[in-house]
Structure 1
């Protein structure tokens, strides 16, 4: 099992369903229409970085690939570290799928947590969820390419939603698209089987959710749902996959939407005073997911 000091360094016209969120202006530091801009511009290095990341993701994320990653990572034998140590490591990570900011991920973590804290001062579990929601991106420090760590998620094992970013061009080389077991409306699933029974593209959301359960977190089910599905935009925002969703999943969707207005629209270049904020959030970590964790 690897310890923290042994992290491997690893550089890290589209309709976007997030526009349907219509957030209150207070959440944004720039015009709403400028968030999650996935238009193609070969002369824009950030847009090209994002497009290439999704192209690789949508080419390689297959049913077999996801199962292989789950088999590898859900043994939780790669790292022992506290949540704080892992979050600090995110200072070395810039998300290659994010068109909004080009800053270390830990800054986004504190931006999200502090905005939630302002609006929900009594819900410390919600604040901590904002802080740790991207901690699963630690995968990128173990030679995992970012296309299987970051970015929006989608269901594998059935036809792909029309509201996945770059949907029209990025799946052309995905082998599951030629497999009749996987390329139909229901694919490997039964009608209204429920969101918890869907096999999602592999990345930081599912990994962190599973890691928290494995380490017996005291965070409530709402927090775990926010973490697990916050990147599943085609479902929670565009309303796709309803033929696979169970009635009880609507409550999950509302919790995820509540979280996402903080995750998405707090992104800006204003950097919180992270050093002064650590003592407060260390107490929350100790309360809900203390000690050295198995990753």
Structure 2
């Protein structure tokens, strides 16, 4: 595997910078049309550009398969879910000027917005868990292998993916095994047969896949797959079951993007409810 220097490991000032960029690309519907925001040449976006240059260069089919082998053995840590959330909190970056909330508070805000709208408790739990896979950063993973818009590897990269021009540096773009419309896949083979770029979505899906309802698993696994659930660029790989399940992904996405608030939730008041909810669906400890 390639050895990366510090600037290649952490091109963003914080992981939240990627999420802030999503709000620019996909603002709330009542706000300005996204086309008015898509200025990718402004200087303040240089770190985001660099993040995606690295992401699109190194997220190859072989890289993803290697990360699956490395991390899906789950031999790094074993913790209660709440302990994993507190572990995740060590990712808080004091240099981030846009939020004083730690990761746990952001996840509680997402989950509480879902609960306030009367959704099933497993949906609420999904909101609470959905970013837990970011603990990958605490195991030394580069930011661009933890967050970022996800996409299939092993087939042609869509021009609907953000900054598609950077895929010219990806070796798979020049490999006839991987650079055709279907690549290593069959038409409409179903996303269960497709390898996605590596990150917190795929990691958490594999942690929770034996415990949560299928709609929850689709939300977790594909909530960063904007090229499909916003741009519909990979319909040729999806089957009818995927299309039905993506209604849940689209239902979840606004809670992920638009539930942030500067007012922090009172963690001590909410903790008993979420510990009971965790116990209902998940084992006492999880392996990371």
TM tier, smaller: 0.7 to 0.9
Equivalent position of 2:131 in the other structure = 134
Deviation at 1:142, TM superposition (A): 0.6
Equivalent position of 1:210 in the other structure = 206
Secondary structure at the aligned position of 1:243 is classed as: helix
Deviations 1:91-118 (A, max 9, x none): 22259xx998685322321111010010
Mapped contact 1:62–1:157 kept (Cα < 8 A): yes
Task: Flag the 1:39–1:275 CA change in 2: closer, same or farther, 3 A.
Answer: farther
Secondary structure at the aligned position of 1:171 is classed as: helix
Matching of residue 249 in structure 1 with residue 242 in structure 2: yes
Deviation at 1:51, TM superposition (A): 2.3
Deviation at 1:210, TM superposition (A): 0.6
CA RMSD, 1 decimal: 2.8
Partners of 1:32 and 1:273 lie apart in 2 by 33
Equivalent position of 1:289 in the other structure = 282
Q: How does 1:261-272 map to 2 (within 5 A)?
A: 261-272=254-265
Deviations 1:236-295 (A, max 9, x none): 111111111112211111010001111111134332222321111111011111311111
Equivalent position of 1:40 in the other structure = 40
Equivalent position of 1:274 in the other structure = 267
Partners of 1:89 and 1:196 lie apart in 2 by 30
Matching of residue 70 in structure 1 with residue 72 in structure 2: no
Mapped contact 1:18–1:233 kept (Cα < 8 A): no
Equivalent position of 2:194 in the other structure = 198
Runs of 4+ in 1 over 3 A off after TM superposition: 16-25, 31-34, 37-43, 98-104
Deviations 1:162-183 (A, max 9, x none): 1111112x22211111101101
Correspondence for 2:177 among 170, 177, 181: 181
Partners of 1:167 and 1:231 lie apart in 2 by 16
Task: Flag the 1:99–1:166 CA change in 2: closer, same or farther, 3 A.
Answer: farther
Deviation at 1:55, TM superposition (A): 1.5
Correspondence for 1:89 among 71, 87, 90: 87
Secondary structure at the aligned position of 1:138 is classed as: helix
Equivalent position of 2:3 in the other structure = none
Secondary structure at the aligned position of 2:112 is classed as: helix
Deviation at 1:21, TM superposition (A): 7.5
Task: Flag the 1:40–1:100 CA change in 2: closer, same or farther, 3 A.
Answer: farther
Normalised by the size of structure 1, how large is the TM-score? 0.82
Task: Flag the 1:280–1:24 CA change in 2: closer, same or farther, 3 A.
Answer: farther
Task: Flag the 1:38–1:76 CA change in 2: closer, same or farther, 3 A.
Answer: farther
Mapped contact 2:101–2:264 kept (Cα < 8 A): no
Structure 1: segments with no counterpart, 5+ residues: 1-9, 26-30
Q: Return the structure number with greater helix share.
A: 2
Alignment: residue pair count: 268
Matching of residue 165 in structure 1 with residue 162 in structure 2: yes
Partners of 2:48 and 2:40 lie apart in 1 by 9
Mapped contact 1:125–1:220 kept (Cα < 8 A): yes
Equivalent position of 1:144 in the other structure = 141
